Chains A and B, each alone.
Chain A
């Protein structure tokens, strides 16, 4: 397997190309656009046999991808921030119609005030729309997650968002191991599941009475719950085929005998690893849990990894106004009644605010300072 220096956007595009997408649609937005530029070049150079639909809006781009998927094509798009918000209506359609669409999201802060910098607010805004959400720590993750996303989506007939952060990942080069197209094709056989057929026309998404609506939603939720089993299986199969361990739902890093655990997702995980190594060398019993999958929320698996710790510092690169960080809120809900630990929601890195080792250390310290109030929330770096 060859190692190549590439940006996160290029890794996303390569993942989609290796997955042999057949239709993509896109409306330009920063910082997601380089992935689409690269895919468009693959098509122009004859390296990818794919129909590229230039849409007049993000809403239309996802609608085009939805239509292609209903016709049986393996379909893909990328977006971020306001574009993702504009797609929201169609995102619910894609999930409710059980289409195996994969979307790369180069996470960017939401307006207003206007920002072009990274955070997870856009992804978190879609936390109830029925899509599986996977977060990427680095560019290798972006490539691996994109390929696995198609297999997960097609197995569960549920769409998947592959999140990676704007600029920090989308525009930054790292070494990435690129698997061969032949091996990816073997890992990812095309499961064509057309709903629309010109010779057998049928209405899609017709009005559904109260007699059936809840049943459809039950089945949709059932698929998300099944994802908690399917995602680790796909991760294991990927490891067997390509030798890289994506760790299923989450990764426990240096979690042996810890008193204090950091929980995070996305690029900040790498920075937190540095801090954990540093503090461990000073004798502090601290570890890290990298959450790879946020939707469905792996509460049980998280609890198994965190049940014996005294402090949990949750690094939330998002804010749910009036509530706190989305990840910390999910953890508190999943752990309710089962633990005495301090769970500290640390709002960090919003709109590209600095979130380095020093800021994460500040978050860790704040957790140990707040044992009086066990469900605290602090803002780091104001």
Chain B
């Protein structure tokens, strides 16, 4: 059975996809859920340079991030969450399920 989706593939405000042209590419965005578990070496894996140090904590510049998900694969503590909601909700996908 096909998933219930918005008829027109869109990204709505509040989804962060409106921040910049780069971020409009994203389907998912990285969310640092457990900062203490993030491996600092993950900085070297981001192809866009979207990860940075901020007072000893790894953070994400979402205006640059394209949502490739490499960081979430390479480090604990980072989870990819659905970027946008469309008109019917988050596609029935629970946040953090990917």
Contact = CB atoms under 8 A, between A and B. Distances in A.
Given A215-B3, A216-B9, A206 B27 contact: yes
Contacts, number: 73
A207 interface: yes
Give the interface centre of B17, B26, B27 by most chain A CB atoms within 10 Å: B27
Contacts of B10: 195, 202-206
Main secondary structure of the interface of B (DSSP, over half): loop
A8 B9 CA distance: 36
A157 to B, nearest CB: 6
A243 interface: no
Contacts of A208: 9, 27
Nearest to B17: A203
Interface in B59-98: 67, 83-84, 91, 93, 98
Given A203-B17, A207-B25, A209-B27, A219 B5 contact: yes
Interface string A33-76: 00000000000000000000000000000000000001000000
Contacts of B27: 206-209, 211-212
Contacts of B5: 212, 215-216, 219
A197 to B, nearest CB: 10
18 contacts: A98-B7, A195-B10, A202-B10, A202-B11, A202-B84, A203-B11, A203-B17, A203-B84, A206-B17, A206-B24, A206-B26, A206-B27, A207-B25, A207-B67, A211-B98, A212-B5, A212-B27, A219-B7
Contacts of B15: 202-203
Interface in A202-234: 202-209, 211-212, 214-216, 218-219, 222
A89 B73 CA distance: 34
Interface in B1-60: 2-3, 5, 7-13, 15, 17-18, 24-28
A66 to B, nearest CB: 11
B28 A219 contact: no
A287 interface: no
A98 B25 contact: no
Nearest to A70: B8
Contacts of B91: 211-212
B2 A218 contact: yes
Contact of B11 (A206, A215, A218): A206
A200 interface: yes
B88 to A, nearest CB: 12
B2 A97 contact: no
